[in-house]
Structure 1
Amino acid sequence: MKSIINEFLDLVKQRNVNEPEFLQAVEEVAETVLPYIVKHDIYYGKNILLRMVEPERVVTFRVCWVDDNGEIQVNRGYRIQMNSAIGPYKGGLRFHPTVNMSILKFLAFEQVFKNSLTTLPMGGGKGGSDFDPKGKSDNEIMRFCHAFMSELFRHIGHNTDVPAGDIGVGAREIGYLFGMYKKISNGFTGVLTGKGLSWGGSKIRPEATGYGTVYFAENMLNTKNDSIKGKNVVISGSGNVAQYAAEKVIQMGGKVLTLSDSSGYIYDSDGINTEKLKFVMHLKNEKRGRIKEYLNEYPNAQYTEGETPWKVPCDVALPCATQNELKLNDAKSLLSNGCICVSEGANMPSTNGAINTFHKAKILFAPGKASNAGGVATSGLEMTQNSLRFNWTREEVDKKLKEIMGNIHDSCIEYGQEEDGYINYVKGANIAGFVKVADAMLAQGIV
């Protein structure tokens, strides 16, 4: 079996040199899915996984825009349309200086499995630009978004490809992007998700990824007759996902100890309660400040420069910042400090070494493609509401989100439970996501 996996990975490496993030994502999937393929004749010999790692379409384009000084700036725009076997491409747009082909291909590949797990009819895609919104005026961001959409519009549509937000793309950016799409296409369609509530958005869409991550952690803990209540929880990040993960932990009776950004992390031994979290939301969302400013308001907290929070003793860890933020030594620190559950809120925040360490220790570990699928699930619900010209209440959407996360958890158990009773959620998520997409690809022939 090892030789089959290595042969497959060698071929993928030859075709995708200098794309480490993408190769990491493929390796993690191949190690669990290829053994399953070999044991099932319906998939074996069809090169299904090889077809899945090759994007159906890759779009790259130039984005020219004018800054506030009248200077012409040039950025790169991308859209990776990975797989449409079960529905239109669906996945976020990321505006960040680190954006490149490798990162977007890894995100698009993960999105295929994540969207499949939701059971909603959505394929996988991802896109974005190396544009950095930080430090830019609203007018500069508007001009960039309009320029970006003036090219992207020809490649998307409500039955073709439905982008959403991601890092650097929030409600403001979605509004500017949608405005230009509507003008060019002369139509008001649900072509983007994450829209404002007054013009087609869904309730709790901003909260969904963070909420879903905590719901998944709760489902995992329930298998041990345990819960979030009374647990010490360490969270990385302080953006949208981290904020709402913290909010849900507090609502469910857990104690949030940390938040972080790219500069460092804060540790509040008294716990980050609802009042303190409101301050963080104002600080990050409106003032666009740094997390260390938390100490100006709450001086009893501690700030650690240039580090991630994984050395802080906890029961539950929620990595909600970015890819590969939780490394092998971080995993060892968490285990030695009593962590029993890790639920990923970001996309691929744990390295393969860290994941293997969690599995060896047999703690509860949820990969992002399962535990952070709440965001895209609610995006799918937004698409449904747009098609119906109808809005569900906050309670209705939250109930559907909770049900979807529960169903994803059940799928992971179905395909991931091992002989000794341990639930390998990575294996379960990969195989469950693969089966639905593979069956659709087989039914549609070689296209």
Structure 2
Amino acid sequence: MSFSVSAGSEAGAYLQSVYESVVRRNPQEPEFHQAVQEFLESMEPVLVRHPEYRKHAILERLVEPDRLVSFRVPWVDDQGRVQVNRGFRVQFNSTLGPYKGGIRFHPTVNAGIIKFLGFEQTFKNALTGQPIGGGKGGSDFDPKGKSDLEIMRFTQSFMTELQKYLGPDVDVPAGDIGVGAREIGYMFGQYKRIRGGNEPGVLTGKGVQYGGSLGRTEATGYGCIYFVQELLASRGLELDGRRTVVSGSGNVSIYAMQKAQELGALVVACSDSAGYIVDPRGIDLELVKRIKLSEGGRISEYVRERPHASYHAGSGGIWSVPCEIALPCATQNELDAAAARQLASAGVIAVAEGANMPCTLEAVHLLLAAGVLFGPAKAANAGGVAVSALEMAQNSMRLSWSFEEVDRRLHAIIRDIYRNSVDAAEAYGFQGNLVAGANIAGFRKVADAMILQGVV
């Protein structure tokens, strides 16, 4: 696979060799390959201007995680049968601080997924300006359809092994897909049971009753909308009145919809893994919350109480709904080239990635070529980890900030991420391309620190 670099350039050939090495050494990990390629495509002008990065083999070191741990997770279901899942933790890079990144419980989880997420997390965390490195973890355990007791038994078994690698100044996990406050609570209880004492800073996303931060639940969705505000403001536009489509109906999607509606947007569609709903009057968010968060139901149930709305099987079709703002907030590679063409031809103004790498590389290239304002996940999705770092700070100081204080800090962090990404894009010849801007801004923070710390 070739890169978008100058033909025959020395830097381009070097980047190609780095990518080919990643593919050779990490076979059958397409998501990791994709994340690395997207990043390396931004690096040519950086290497030309800063030959010291090549001299110190920064790229070769960055694409190799510090360590990847894989372990067995045995647990007992409600029928008394022993089940076995596989757990992972990648500690990708701790140059800027302790490893930080969520834990994902989903049947698709494997080593390649965890590595792509940890690689992205390294630069996303750097962009926040907080002292945190990059990591990620998870298991192929599927929490859907499991009882609370089964989830507790599984998470306790998972933490029994994972705790060996954690600590407030070593590695601090959080939640992700399939891991919310309930799962974090079970893991925190098991950590304390094994290690003794009380180290609230070892996990984030905790309940506010025992060290969690106000605003953490809303942070990723809110942060995505704050980034969209910055994108629109660059063209003198506002979110008010904009027809908006948000994929997914989990935590990120729900709070992106909530903040968008607060700012006057008309959110007309959302989805789950089975299909999507379209409500031309605007999504009834309280109904979605009840169906998805309280009852654990399917989004198709929405139309029973809102008969003027329509349900469509197949979640990918959501991008055929005409909109001005599109927010892919479900999962990786959900928005492909065909969907990007549909959105661009229908007049979409801005696309911001609320999930991790939800757009394929070809889709990203098409949207940028069409002049669509594009917020990459490293920047638009950084709100969650930003507030996780704020939770760590509160735990260290034994303080608890108000929701308003956390939200104010979150908004300021997202604004800084946007400005730093714009500045980096302009400085290295990628004006208007915030994919490159975010890659470069995050990379330079990590790379410069790596050089100062020597070969480790």
Q: TM-score range by the shorter chain?
A: over 0.9
Q: Give the aligned partner of residue 232 of structure 2.
A: 221
- Confirm whether residue 62 of structure 1 aligns to residue 72 of structure 2: yes
Q: Does 1:289 align with 2:297?
A: yes
Name the SS of the counterpart of 2:161 in structure 1. helix
User: TM-score, normalised to structure 1's length?
Assistant: 0.98
Aligned to 1:395: 404
- Report the counterpart of residue 302 of structure 1 in structure 2: 310
Residues 10 and 352 of structure 1: CA distance in aligned 2, closer, same or farther (over 3 Å): same
Q: Residue 77 of structure 1 is aligned with which of 87, 104, 120?
A: 87
Displacement after TM superposition at 1:166 (Å): 0.2
Maintained 8 Å contact 1:38/1:44: no
- Deviations 1:124-167 (Å, cap 9, x if unpaired)? 00001000000000000000010000110010000000000000
Distance 1:421 1:202 in 2: 37
Q: Distance in 1 between matches of 2:427 and 2:253?
A: 31
Check if 1:383 corresponds to 2:419: no
Corresponding residue for residue 207 of structure 2: 196
Q: Write the deviation string for residues 345-364 of structure 1: whole angstroms up to 9, x where unpaired.
A: 00000000000001111210
Coordinate RMSD, CA, aligned: 1.1
Q: Distance in 1 between matches of 2:163 and 2:340?
A: 42
Q: CA deviation at 1:421?
A: 8.6
The residue that corresponds to 1:373 in the other structure is 382
Q: Which runs of 4+ in 1 moved over 6 A?
A: 418-421
Shift of 1:423: 1.3
Aligned equivalents of 1:42, 1:419: Cα separation in 2? 16
- How many angstroms apart in 2 are the aligned matches of 1:428 and 1:336? 25
Is 1:125 aligned to 2:135, yes or no? yes
Query: Equivalent residue for 1:404?
Result: 413
Q: Is the CA contact 1:33–1:434 (under 8 Å) kept in the aligned structure 2?
A: no
Q: CA separation in 2, counterparts of 1:417 and 1:218? A: 20
Equivalent position amino acid for 2:275 in 1: G
Alpha carbons 1:320, 1:349 under 8 Å: kept: yes
SS at match of 2:68: strand
Deviation of residue 45 (structure 1)? 2.1
Alignment-mate amino acid for residue 138 of structure 1: D
Q: Report the CA distance between 1:71 and its aligned residue.
A: 0.3
2:103–2:175 Cα contact (<8 Å) kept = yes
Partner residue of 2:339? 330
| 1:414 pairs with 2:423 | yes
Aligned length: 444
C-alpha contact 2:270 2:278 (8 A) present in aligned 1: yes
Q: Return the offset for 1:182.
A: 0.8
Q: 1:232-258: CA deviations, max 9, x gaps?
A: 001000000000000000000100011
Give the distance between the partners of 1:437 and 1:420, measured in 2 at CA: 21
Kept in 1, the 8 Å contact 2:46–2:428? The answer is no
Say whether 1:231 aligns with 2:255: no
1:269 maps to a residue whose letter is P
- The structure 2 residue matched to 1:345, chosen from 343, 354, 362, is 354
Asked if the contact 1:418/1:424 (under 8 Å) is kept, the reply is no
Residue 449 of structure 2 corresponds to 440
The structure-2 alpha-carbon separation of the partners of 1:445 and 1:327, relative to structure 1 and needing over 3 Å to count, comes to same
* Displacement after TM superposition at 1:420 (Å): 8.9
Q: Secondary structure at the match of 2:115?
A: helix
Matched position secondary structure for 2:114: helix
Partner residue in 2 for 1:165? 175
CA contact (8 A) 2:45 2:428 kept: no
> What residue in structure 2 maps to residue 32 of structure 1?
42
Q: Residue type of the partner of 2:36?
A: V
CA distance in 2, matches of 1:348, 1:48: 23
2:97 to 87, 96, 102: 87
Residue 417 of structure 1: how far off its partner (Å)? 2.7
- TM-score with structure 2 setting the length: 0.96
CA distance in 2, matches of 1:203, 1:146: 25
Q: Is the 8 A contact 1:362 1:422 kept in 2?
A: no
- Residues 198-218 of structure 1 show CA distances to partners (whole Å, capped at 9, x for unaligned) of 100000100000000000000
Which of 257, 270, 281 is matched with 1:270 structurally? 281
One-letter code aligned to 1:221: L
Give the partner amino acid of 2:65. P
Partner SS for 2:319: coil
Percentage of matched positions with identical amino acids: 55
* Match among 353, 357, 368 for residue 366 of structure 2: 357
Q: Secondary structure of 1:44's partner?
A: helix
Partner of 2:108: 98
- Once the two structures are superposed, residues 182-207 of structure 1 have per-residue CA deviations (whole angstroms, 9 ceiling, x without a partner) of 11111211100000011000001000
In structure 1, C-alpha distance between the alignment counterparts of 2:325 and 2:123, rounded to whole Å: 25
Whether contact under 8 Å (1:326, 1:350) holds in the other structure is yes
Amino acid at match of 1:232: R
Letter in structure 2 aligned against 1:10:
E
1:343 to 1:13, Cα distance in 2 relative to 1, 3 A: same
User: Which sits farther off after the overlay, 327-336 or 354-363?
Assistant: 354-363
Unaligned runs of 5+ in 2: 1-8
SS at match of 2:340: helix
Q: 1:112 aligns with which of 122, 133, 149?
A: 122
1:418 Cα offset (Å): 7.5
8 Å CA contact retained: 2:53, 2:59? no
